[in-house]
Structure 1
């Protein structure tokens, strides 16, 4: 029956309502069975779980503790090839695991829902999952399907408070030019101050070690991040919101101001002449050479590692992240930290699962505060101890993480099973992510201050475009290509007047390619999403 539901939905386009109704009947049957066995079965049940990220057997210390606490043993299913292809094959064949971890960014997740392969979780959460209900909060409301139900639980959910993008500047140069105290305190800089610093660097250091200096460079392989970092200075987000509509960001008057600023950097020789073609290797060589003062995007790890190796761990010759604010923009209004609160994966219970009650209880334990520390820190008394109400890792654990974190994870089980993970800090203020968030270097620690308050949630704005493969999707792509090509041309323009002409021509091309129609789709989909979200929140 289950196989027939999935096959019919995928291959013959069965109505969603029918599939969901049938799925609900299965849930009711299986919940009853689950309730009957919970009180009588002491031997652990075995559930199959598809996870593209890990294939280790469920036998390490953390796994054993989870089984002891929940009565569930996990049989891991990991694909040998493309995980998305494997998921689609399982969907078509009906050979489903009990639990599926599916990338939220792939269309496969919606195929599983529309095909009736995942059961709705709302009643199970309400009845058996107090931790999920309390800790997920409005993440559940933001994740409802078009029928208003939840078919998966988000993994790596909640806004990650860690800094994302920044304008990175060398601390030693900032100190040399009289900005040391402000820089060390994590203060922001205005656009004019940043421009002045670039000019001073070029004037004082026309060359470094016999090579021309580069006041600012970027990694062209991450161009969306670079453009996003400049947009962040102006407080721009995904769309230009005007009169209740979502429009292409290029319609925002601040976009044209941003282009003219970047053009100024280029025409004055402050921006690397190869900004648009720098490969990662070229970028790393330049930033590590000492010829560069500033860059945009993520933390400059490779160059900073090279500087520490050359000058010692305490050197100030390092790139630090800062907010740079455009005219009229307050530091709190910058948008350097676009993050989705909905995470990377969806954890779904399939219609093949004969133990939905035990499964949701298992997931609820993992989602609990206790479960999170077990998953991410390992066993208490082995990797960490509770001291005065605070989780404290043992020195042996910290040393082992520094020496080889992958081996530490494999042997102890800490951070091996990353399911139902919540971003950020635990109730005692320690980070859930022991390995990568507990001990931070000076640059990372500084960024927590300098970039604070710049994170914003992209969740309600993601994936609002036309359906793939449609004429509207082709129009949208053509419009994006026009915008990308014009962006580069405007940066290279010889004057701001020429930029104005190019910009006007670009807008005309957008209109000729049905930009308004695509914006109508963005707006309509956004309104539907907000209605679903608000309805879910009001329940």
Structure 2
């Protein structure tokens, strides 16, 4: 086996490490407060007498992410504190199709959770299906206002009103993407000191690592080394990772105008670099067609030195074969292009506006109680209840800090899905804020409280590479318009050209294909689409002010 052969020189282990993400508040505990009083009235504005009526109010909640019954311990604690019981609705098919059907029929739930990045949100707002939240927040949402801060300003619709609350909002500080290189390979090739410190690698150092790996290691069974591989099922992330080396973002911005990223002079240099890796046998010949399973098998075989795109299953295979040797795994690194400073790289694109939009529909007969319910869950107390569970059962407050019980942490390790379903911890991920509470502990207990060696190292190696994509949200043509069709055609042209350029037989051919791509997108009215980007971007920045 190749793995056995190269272990003579470096303990061949390939581990693709993927930081779990959540690609997204008053600091009382989730149980009784320290003096025994129920804190719900202060955090949520809800009395101990179940919204003043002594009765539980049931609200229907369409959540595209889950259809589980709202009856686990965390759910019961939420109802006890707010007087609200949730009837969760979720389709078995396509959530967006169901959302469109509900909008067309008028058969709306009380609360709706949608993909914030989808045009469905604007459809609901334009149709008058969502209640404006501004007055409700002013009267009943002090914790919402405190926790969300400027996110409320940035989430306003074009009429200046807020129609939803963001979910998984706030800029996630954890690294998102990187070039992953095996630590044992780096040490064997003389890059150990830099690697352990989490220093960046120049593009030439990276090429040297790949070249020496290719030349040093061979397989007695006939399988050659693969210096660099990628997962084609996540091609946008692959392209984004190479763009990040050059500090490129979603669009090319020049003189206050936005253009397709392919017009950035760095784009052609990026493709030339990739093409050079391919022609020199340093990039996997199947980089553009590797599916998840194939990529995982390669990652776990010991044949690969570096990867673009991460695989937890690849890690698992390596651990099964090689144990827990932390050197025999993939670590996250910045590879920095010539002329780009390390802190200018853009490896971790994150939107501070989050993943989901949660709104109150016009069919809701209890908007005040609903915003109070939202206010509690958005509060720091509510966040710890949702993400940590119940004080005295799942966690304790020690010296002013939230401390999870060992069995809680172990429950996620043993069987994540079963544990969340049984306890309710991290099951109802609503109004979630990325980051840390006032005591310095992370809201997302399951993914950020305990870190392994790889994710801890990444906080250093990938520092200053996170950037906010929110300014570029909602600046494309409206769905269903002729301009939207033109935009999609242009993107298809770019995607096809990108693959052809990387596979090109020479650098001259790369340049020729690039020039042909630019001519083709111009012939398909790229300038008109870029004008839409620029105008919408300008209006959005004005609205945010």
TM-score, L = length of structure 1: 0.89
Aligned to 2:32: none
CA deviations over 1:85-107 (Å, ceiling 9, x no partner): 22222222222221111222332
Aligned to 2:352: 341
Structure 1: unaligned runs, 5 residues or longer: 1-33, 535-539
For the pair 1:410 / 2:421, whether they are aligned, the reply is: yes
For the pair 1:439 / 2:446, whether they are aligned, the reply is: no
For the pair 1:426 / 2:427, whether they are aligned, the reply is: no
- 2:378 pairs, out of 353, 367, 380, with 367
In the alignment, the residues of structure 1 paired with residue 398 and residue 406 of structure 2 have an alpha-carbon distance, to the nearest angstrom, of 14
Deviation at 1:43, TM superposition (A): 2.4
Deviation at 1:397, TM superposition (A): 1.5
Deviation at 1:498, TM superposition (A): 2.6
Aligned to 1:476: 487
- 1:263 pairs, out of 246, 253, 275, with 275
Between the two proteins, the alignment pairs up a number of residues equal to 499
Aligned to 1:230: 242
Deviation at 1:352, TM superposition (A): 1.4
> Would the alpha carbon gap of residues 282 and 412 (structure 1) be closer, same or farther in structure 2, given more than 3 Å must change?
closer
CA deviations over 1:4-39 (Å, ceiling 9, x no partner): xxxxxxxxxxxxxxxxxxxxxxxxxxxxxx99x997
Contact 1:300 1:319 in 2 (8 A): no
In the alignment, the residues of structure 2 paired with residue 78 and residue 478 of structure 1 have an alpha-carbon distance, to the nearest angstrom, of 33
Task: Please state whether the residue corresponding to 2:238 is helix, strand or coil.
Answer: helix
> Would the alpha carbon gap of residues 145 and 208 (structure 1) be closer, same or farther in structure 2, given more than 3 Å must change?
farther
Aligned to 2:257: 245
In the alignment, the residues of structure 2 paired with residue 458 and residue 189 of structure 1 have an alpha-carbon distance, to the nearest angstrom, of 25
For the pair 1:44 / 2:56, whether they are aligned, the reply is: yes
- Report matched runs for 1:273-288 at 5 Å: 273-288=285-300
- 1:520 pairs, out of 531, 534, 545, with 531
For the pair 1:506 / 2:517, whether they are aligned, the reply is: yes
In the alignment, the residues of structure 2 paired with residue 408 and residue 500 of structure 1 have an alpha-carbon distance, to the nearest angstrom, of 54
In the alignment, the residues of structure 2 paired with residue 326 and residue 457 of structure 1 have an alpha-carbon distance, to the nearest angstrom, of 21
In the alignment, the residues of structure 1 paired with residue 77 and residue 103 of structure 2 have an alpha-carbon distance, to the nearest angstrom, of 32
In the alignment, the residues of structure 2 paired with residue 357 and residue 41 of structure 1 have an alpha-carbon distance, to the nearest angstrom, of 13
- Report matched runs for 1:170-209 at 5 Å: 170-207=182-219, 209=221
Contact 1:231 1:255 in 2 (8 A): yes
CA deviations over 1:183-226 (Å, ceiling 9, x no partner): 12211111111011111111111436541111111112211111
> Would the alpha carbon gap of residues 224 and 80 (structure 1) be closer, same or farther in structure 2, given more than 3 Å must change?
closer
Aligned to 1:377: 388
For the pair 1:398 / 2:403, whether they are aligned, the reply is: no
Aligned to 1:95: 107
Task: Please state whether the residue corresponding to 1:211 is helix, strand or coil.
Answer: coil
> Would the alpha carbon gap of residues 208 and 360 (structure 1) be closer, same or farther in structure 2, given more than 3 Å must change?
farther
Contact 1:307 1:315 in 2 (8 A): no
Contact 2:214 2:227 in 1 (8 A): yes
Structure 2: unaligned runs, 5 residues or longer: 1-45
Task: Please state whether the residue corresponding to 1:41 is helix, strand or coil.
Answer: helix
For the pair 1:153 / 2:165, whether they are aligned, the reply is: yes
Aligned to 2:462: 451
In the alignment, the residues of structure 2 paired with residue 254 and residue 128 of structure 1 have an alpha-carbon distance, to the nearest angstrom, of 49
Bigger relative CO (Cα 8 Å, ≥ 6 apart): 2
Task: Please state whether the residue corresponding to 2:53 is helix, strand or coil.
Answer: coil
Task: Please state whether the residue corresponding to 1:295 is helix, strand or coil.
Answer: strand
In the alignment, the residues of structure 1 paired with residue 492 and residue 88 of structure 2 have an alpha-carbon distance, to the nearest angstrom, of 42
In the alignment, the residues of structure 1 paired with residue 173 and residue 427 of structure 2 have an alpha-carbon distance, to the nearest angstrom, of 22
In the alignment, the residues of structure 2 paired with residue 125 and residue 442 of structure 1 have an alpha-carbon distance, to the nearest angstrom, of 42
In the alignment, the residues of structure 1 paired with residue 313 and residue 69 of structure 2 have an alpha-carbon distance, to the nearest angstrom, of 34
CA deviations over 1:434-460 (Å, ceiling 9, x no partner): 222222222222222211221111112
Deviation at 1:505, TM superposition (A): 2.2
In the alignment, the residues of structure 1 paired with residue 52 and residue 342 of structure 2 have an alpha-carbon distance, to the nearest angstrom, of 59
- Report matched runs for 1:14-29 at 5 Å: none
In the alignment, the residues of structure 2 paired with residue 300 and residue 79 of structure 1 have an alpha-carbon distance, to the nearest angstrom, of 29
Aligned to 1:61: 73
- 2:312 pairs, out of 294, 301, 312, with 301
Contact 1:405 1:435 in 2 (8 A): no
TM-score, L = length of structure 2: 0.88
> Would the alpha carbon gap of residues 96 and 214 (structure 1) be closer, same or farther in structure 2, given more than 3 Å must change?
same
In the alignment, the residues of structure 2 paired with residue 177 and residue 226 of structure 1 have an alpha-carbon distance, to the nearest angstrom, of 25
In the alignment, the residues of structure 2 paired with residue 216 and residue 176 of structure 1 have an alpha-carbon distance, to the nearest angstrom, of 17
Contact 2:63 2:113 in 1 (8 A): yes
Task: Please state whether the residue corresponding to 1:464 is helix, strand or coil.
Answer: coil
Task: Please state whether the residue corresponding to 2:357 is helix, strand or coil.
Answer: strand
Contact 1:239 1:246 in 2 (8 A): yes
Deviation at 1:230, TM superposition (A): 0.3
In the alignment, the residues of structure 2 paired with residue 78 and residue 489 of structure 1 have an alpha-carbon distance, to the nearest angstrom, of 41
CA RMSD of aligned residues (A): 1.9
- 2:225 pairs, out of 193, 200, 213, with 213
Deviation at 1:524, TM superposition (A): 0.8
Contact 1:384 1:391 in 2 (8 A): yes
